[in-house]
Structure 1
Amino acid sequence: MKIILCITGSIAATEDLKLVHELQRHGFDVECFMTEAATEIITPLSMEFATKKRVVTKITGYVEHVTNAQADLILVAPATANTISKFAHKVADTTVTTLLLTASGYDTPILFVPSMHISMYDAISENIRKIREDNKNVYFMEPNEAERKAKFPSKHDIVLEVERLTSAKKLSGKNVMIATGATFEKMDAMRGLTNRSSGRMGVEIAKEFYRQGANVTVICGLMHTHVPKVFERVDVESTQEMIDAVTQRIKDMDIYVSVAAISDFTFEDVSLGKISSDEDITVKLTRLPKLLEQVKKINPDVFAVGFKAEAGLNEDDLIQKAKNRMQKYDLDMIVANDILVEDGGPGSNNNEVYVIDKEDYEKVSLDSKSNVSKKIVEKVCSLF
């Protein structure tokens, strides 16, 4: 897919070399337009080296603003207050604003990534509102607010938004909830019981649903991975908190994926202080309720996906156990994995899974969690 990257005169332009490489890594063909102000911050030669394409800094007889106006996406990153305000009022006096005006006439999707002082961002809020009202195919990323600045988002978050806007949007408008990460059950003020989980698999699945146009809610237990700001995020700690967070929202969901490493037990007695380590102690664990038992009772129409982790089972036994759980909780699909698979255990970057529905199953061999998540969401799309 062809992306036109428009660079305007913000210091965040220094991040664009990394952004180009990340876009290319995800399969996008990138060409570049730069304003005169941008060329004072980063050289056109550096962008030409990165894109392997001629950089447009002036409109010539090749009418670059027309020949490039029907790209798959126009990405304005960074977008200054000046460029945003000019576009709001249909001013075309730079290479970038001339391209934007032409592209809007073709209804080409445009994504603005604002970067400026927070006071300037607040000052142009009316112009942003006007653009959104006047142009159905123009979008804005929310900047990261810090140090009184509307800062450039991470390159990963920008690419995720680009992928969403250029995807087939198979789940456009659908509400999806993912429960991920581990829960923690207190033993005393210091110690507790938990599971090994980075939350990475759940976040990668959430990203893939978001790419396909879904509205994504992520219920986050304890985890060690970045959660994009574009998701509605709900942080929880204990199993009961996770159950409450899911059951309170499940009635509004079209799809639910339970990939969290939820504690099966809690302590019968919890100390308010810190238990002394001077002597041996005996603790009693009690079973906790199963979250999946409640999902279909509250929303029988939700497409529910469970995960089943086992250790050291052969393929037939692993699949049978997963099928038993799918039937017990009336799930539409279940993903099973062996946590002892080399390089694919809890907390790793990879996974090997079996994707099982009511008719058949498919083995997804050891691969990155990003690629495995694509297979899982593809299956959900085919069944939903």
Structure 2
Amino acid sequence: MLKVVVTAGGTSESIDGVRRITNCSTGTLSSMIAERFVDYGLRTGKDLKLYYIHTDNCKMPSIKHGMEMLKFINATSTYEVKDTVEKLLTEEKIDLFVHCMAVSDFSMHCYLSMEELAGHIMEMNLQSQPTSKEDIIKHFQDLVPQEQKKISSKDDICMFMKRTPKIINMIKKISPETFLIGFKLLSGGSFEDLLASARIQILENDSDFVLANDTKNIGNGKHEAVLIDRHGDILGSFETKDHIAAGLVKMLVKKGVI
């Protein structure tokens, strides 16, 4: 059986009991990629199982036949995605992992009102020993997170965010034999910047393919992207989401991955 994972949507991180921070990823491209895999399974008679790890309110695959090939797994926050990916890679032999999800780089740690922030700074300034930059950083890193209740709207606040785990960096470490496709998104960079960023991702995460794109080339039915292999060579270029989804599956067949 060919086991495939496709991640979809943008993670959402809780700020307080009613507010969350997220990104603009809709999961549309992921849903189209999943649809193409199911179509490939139906056309070839391939015994295929596709795990669709998705966030709340993201686009879901729309298919009439082959639903038995799909298993939907909801994971909304970065840490939920992390736990889901670790469990899946540990318990199943995953052949191919398409990591299209836009994972938050930061999650909420704690917050201070501006008055509280000023009080902390004044307290440090009143200490008998000089306060170093490292002391200040550690002081605020060590703040205890508040209970997840609604933040009052009466005060301006300063939010402290902490870095989240890099999901893509875990995949090959847990399952070295899994073929990994990463996605790299820039905003307003040059084509050379895009290729360089994709090649760095390959080196850092041991990706086999990277789909590189830029927000300036996405919109109004257009989605320009290039597919790069682990050697940094361009395998193909695309103009729309459907073109990407179809071209990705076609290239995986051509390379003998599926």
Q: Which interval holds the TM-score relative to the shorter structure?
A: 0.7 to 0.9
Name the CA distance, whole Å, in 1 between partners of 2:203 and 2:175: 16
The percent of aligned pairs where both chains have the same amino acid is: 29
Deviates more, 1:263-272 or 1:326-335: 263-272
Confirm or deny: 8 A CA contact 1:184 1:239 kept in the other structure.
yes
Deviation sequence 1:294-324 (CA, Å, 0-9, x none):
1111111000000011111111110111111
Name the CA distance, whole Å, in 2 between partners of 1:180 and 1:334: 16
2:93 maps to 252
Residue 351 of structure 1: which of 208, 211, 223 is its match?
223
Q: CA deviation at 1:349?
A: 5.0
Corresponding residue SS for 2:157: coil
Residue 161 of structure 2: which of 285, 298, 303 is its match?
285
2:234 maps to 361
Confirm or deny: 8 A CA contact 1:197 1:223 kept in the other structure.
no
In structure 2, the gaps of 5 or more residues are 42-47, 111-145
Aligned-partner residue type, residue 241 of structure 1: E
Corresponding residue SS for 1:283: strand
Q: 1:365 to 1:331 in 2, by over 3 A?
A: closer
Within 5 Å, give how 1:172-191 maps onto structure 2: 173-191=1-19
Corresponding residue SS for 2:97: strand
Deviates more, 1:371-380 or 1:222-231: 222-231
Deviation sequence 1:43-102 (CA, Å, 0-9, x none):
xxxxxxxxxxxxxxxxxxxxxxxxxxxxxxxxxxxxxxxxxxxxxxxxxxxxxxxxxxxx
Name the CA distance, whole Å, in 1 between partners of 2:98 and 2:4: 8
Q: For the pair shown, which has the larger CA radius of gyration, 1 or 2?
A: 1
Residue 106 of structure 2: which of 265, 277, 280 is its match?
265
Corresponding position: 1:377 with 2:246? no
Aligned-partner residue type, residue 59 of structure 2: T
Deviation sequence 1:316-375 (CA, Å, 0-9, x none):
11011111111111111110100122xx24xx75421110002411452422x2222011
Name the CA distance, whole Å, in 1 between partners of 2:203 and 2:82: 20
Residue 76 of structure 2: which of 237, 249, 260 is its match?
237
Aligned-partner residue type, residue 234 of structure 2: Y
Corresponding position: 1:209 with 2:37? yes
- The count of residues paired between Structure 1 and Structure 2 equals 207
Aligned-partner residue type, residue 107 of structure 2: T
Deviation sequence 1:161-196 (CA, Å, 0-9, x none):
xxxxxxxxxxxx311001111111100011121111
Within 5 Å, give how 1:114-153 maps onto structure 2: none
1:330 maps to 206
1:340 maps to 216
Aligned-partner residue type, residue 190 of structure 1: V
Q: CA deviation at 1:240?
A: 0.7
Q: 1:331 to 1:248 in 2, by over 3 A?
A: same
Deviation sequence 1:248-300 (CA, Å, 0-9, x none):
11242100010001000001125421111121100001101101111111111
Name the CA distance, whole Å, in 2 between partners of 1:224 and 1:296: 26
2:52 maps to 218
1:194 maps to 22
User: Under a length normalisation based on structure 2, what TM-score does the superposition of the two structures give?
Assistant: 0.76
Q: 1:206 to 1:239 in 2, by over 3 A?
A: same
Name the CA distance, whole Å, in 2 between partners of 1:218 and 1:290: 19
Name the CA distance, whole Å, in 1 between partners of 2:191 and 2:94: 32
Deviates more, 1:226-235 or 1:300-309: 226-235
Confirm or deny: 8 A CA contact 1:256 1:303 kept in the other structure.
yes
Deviation sequence 1:144-163 (CA, Å, 0-9, x none):
xxxxxxxxxxxxxxxxxxxx
Q: CA deviation at 1:215?
A: 1.6
